Amino acid sequence: MHPLPIELWEEIFVHCLPNVDVLSGDTWNSNICVTPGVAPLLLCQVCKLWRQISMDLPYLWVSLPVFVSMGNSYPPLDFLRLWLARSGHLPLLLSLYQQNESDANCFVAEEVLRIFSQHASRWYSIQLHLSRNARLPILESRPTPMLETFEIQSVEVDALMGLKVVPRLLHIHVSHIPDLSLSGDNSLPVPWSQLTSLTLDSISVESSIRILCMCPNLGKCSYTIDTHHGAVPFLSVVHVMLKSLVVNISHNYLSTFLEHLTLPQLFQVTVYSNDMAEWPQGTFSRLLERSSCHLRQLEVYNAGMSNAHFLACVLHPCLQSLEELVINDFGDWTKEPFVIDEILTALSCSSHAIADAVQLFKKPLCCLLPHLEKLVLLNNRLVGRDGAFADMVGSRLRHASYVRGLRWLECELSVDHTEDHSRLHDLQRNGFLEYLRLLSPRLA
């Protein structure tokens, strides 16, 4: 029996990693802990040959998640040094999670950062979740020529501290940027023009719009907008690269934010609201029409969606390309339902629906939202005929040769909708619905 070549063992070991192809970008999961039961440590315990191959293979050691708790580092500090030494000269994917802001944890977190900073020239992705502002000047003046992803979340931190040489930086996620003016300017040399992904957890309406102007290559943007000063003239932004927009914002600011944007390539929108007010359907419709975009995914959370707003969304020409629609309204249970029989009828496939679609869109459509595959309607306070929901789903599945049948369905149905429950579960058992989740309505 001929032994396997070392090169083949190495290829097999790489595919044993919990994060295969870690240098391919988003596939790296920093939440996976370092334990003896997971590669690469697991491979070192099998036999002498496997141990030697594992320790000599740098690629097995390029990703390192560290957890700090109770004044200790997991893995221990000495083992961190050994781990990073085994990674050779390859780019590194590093993460640090600090459990709380105790003095002992802060001290250990700073020691971990000091070890990390010794390898700053090899950073490819770094994620820091700190409970308070650790002393980070240790990174100043250290070049990071390989860095592509930088994430730091903390109660109080000077984000992008000391990162001076970042020619490949593409993705930034920070709690806030210090000294950020209303116009979006700040004292740190943030390479806005080269970014393709940006997440800011605290920003004003004015700065958010200004930064979009400064990031012409941005494809994904996520903002938590918590202030609106109204002190500077607004810029109208035409951003031809932005495809995904996620915004967590008060209803008082949402209309102001949306009405200054034109986003022709936009295909994914997620809106989180924190105060259960009225969804600005008019402003949203004008954004779609102004941009001439065709969304494939729309998610709206706690934004005060009424049945009139929902019907307007279903009827909007720019939303007929939707593949995923999620409406989750956490509002007062006494509010009017946003799902009613008329909407379910509009979403059904029938001769009447086809005639209505032709009249509305001036082209043949077998039903509204013909590409829809995932539908989530939660806290909808559904009021309507028992069986209407199942009728809608079934009609779309029967016309699967002309319309994409629903594959994923989550909704609230009261227990007295026995026909809906029975027929929808039958569709799932027969393989027509890949995922079905029916919840009882919240009563208070």
Query: Are the C-beta atoms of 433 and 407 separated by less than 8 Å?
Result: yes
Query: Are the C-beta atoms of 73 and 104 separated by less than 8 Å?
Result: no
Q: Would you say residue 135 lies in a domain?
A: yes
Q: Would you say residue 273 lies in a domain?
A: no
Distances (CA, A) of 241 to 217, 260, 323, 354, 416: 6, 16, 21, 34, 48
Q: Would you say residue 34 lies in a domain?
A: yes
As a whole number of angstroms, the distance between CA 79 and CA 419 comes to 60
Q: Would you say residue 155 lies in a domain?
A: yes
Q: Would you say residue 350 lies in a domain?
A: no
Q: Would you say residue 425 lies in a domain?
A: no
> How does DSSP assign 203-232, residue by residue?
EEHHHHHHHHHH-TT--EEEEEEEE----S
As a whole number of angstroms, the distance between CA 298 and CA 324 comes to 6
**pLDDT for 181:** 59
Residue numbers of the domain that contains 21: 1-190
**pLDDT for 138:** 52
Which two three-digit tokens encode residue 48? 């002498």
**pLDDT for 223:** 94
**pLDDT for 101:** 81
Q: Would you say residue 97 lies in a domain?
A: yes
**pLDDT for 359:** 53
Q: Would you say residue 376 lies in a domain?
A: no
As a whole number of angstroms, the distance between CA 176 and CA 194 comes to 19
Which two three-digit tokens encode residue 199? 């997440």
**pLDDT for 27:** 46
Based on the structure, what is the number of domains in the chain? 1
How many beta carbons lie within 10 A of that of residue 190, not counting itself?
24
Give the global pTM. Answer: 0.84
Q: What residues in the chain have per-residue pLDDT under 70?
A: 1-2, 19-32, 132-141, 155-164, 178-188, 229-234, 276, 331-335, 351-366, 381, 383, 442-444
